[in-house]
Amino acid sequence: MDTKASLSLDECSNKVSVDYDGKGGSIMGESIFPNPEGDATKALVFMLSGVSTIKWKQVFAYYFIPNVYDGREHAPITTSLIKMSREVGTDVVSISTDMGSQNVAVSMIWYKLWS
């Protein structure tokens, strides 16, 4: 791989607001993960950071999420994002999160998958 990176994920709070996008014909402000129902009170943000000679950071993906969800549901998303990064020449060598209950739950899945 050309580039080595760390994948970080964290949640940030959103102002709860629902708007109608007349041009696209969709409702914005609702949760899109794990299911498209309910208010999106947070965003789950995935960011790649370079760990080799050149330091860089890039938001890679984000999902609008409800206040409470099962963290194990984002294990397939994380795996998919790692595969996508490899397709463009970036090798994810570490994953970092805070110790929120959702992240602890998914870290157990990652451990079983990758050990």
What range does the domain containing 46 cover? 3-114
- The structural domain count of the chain equals 1
Specify the pLDDT at position 57.
Answer: 92
Instruction: Give the pLDDT confidence of 33-49 residue by residue, as tens digits.
Output: 656 667 778 888 999 99
Sequence-ordered list of residues with C-beta below 8 angstroms from that of 16, at least 6 positions apart, any chain: 29, 39, 40, 41
What pTM does this model have? 0.76
Instruction: Give the pLDDT confidence of 72-105 residue by residue, as tens digits.
Output: 777 888 889 999 999 999 999 988 888 777 777 7
